[in-house]
Amino acid sequence: MTLAASAAGASAADRYIIDPEHTYSTFEYKHWGLSYQRGRFDNNSGMIELDMGGKTGAINIAIDASSVSTGSETFNKILRSDNFFDATQFPQILFKSSNMRFDGDKLVQVDGDLTIRGITKPASFEITHFNCRFMFLYFKQACGANGYTKILRSDFGVGRYVPFVSDEVTLSFSVEGIKE
């Protein structure tokens, strides 16, 4: 996942590089009505820019589609195939923000465009946790967040096996960025 951002007031914005060791993108869906199954994407990278004073910023995320991980290499290959993510033709899943919403100093929502298999649709991620602080591990300022959105996978050309496997999928992320 590449997380990049640009703020309207770039002079006041701080830039953060995503820490790939502490950043994950996950998905959850209902399997044949029996249980909720989860998977994740292991390769995430990018940047965030935040102007906390102006309550602005923007985020661009790129997820390596071939890094899908379900715990089953057979299933991973199926998800990478042209029946699902088609990771060869569409190697990245992208999110580019258009708006960041704050409640006081707390980031609560990020709106933007999500692209899967070359199809772009609007998406809004609810932010469930957001915090910035000095990290002694890096000797730098760092920010972290968790968030999620729900999509219909068929909207992105990934509708195989609907309705047996749910069309609605929850996309979640856990991200940490280190200030440049």
Cite the DSSP H helix spans in the chain: 73-80
Strands (E), the chain: 14-18, 24-31, 35-41, 44-51, 56-64, 68-69, 92-103, 106-116, 119-135, 140-152, 168-179
Indicate the number of domains in the chain: 1
- CA quadruple 94, 100, 101, 106: dihedral sign: positive
Per the domain annotation, does 4 fall within a domain?
Answer: no
Residue-wise pLDDT for 91-114, tens only, equals 999 999 999 999 998 999 999 999
pLDDT at 117: 97
Domain that holds residue 136: 10-179
* CATH number of the domain that residue 21 is part of: 2.40.128.110
Prediction pTM value = 0.88
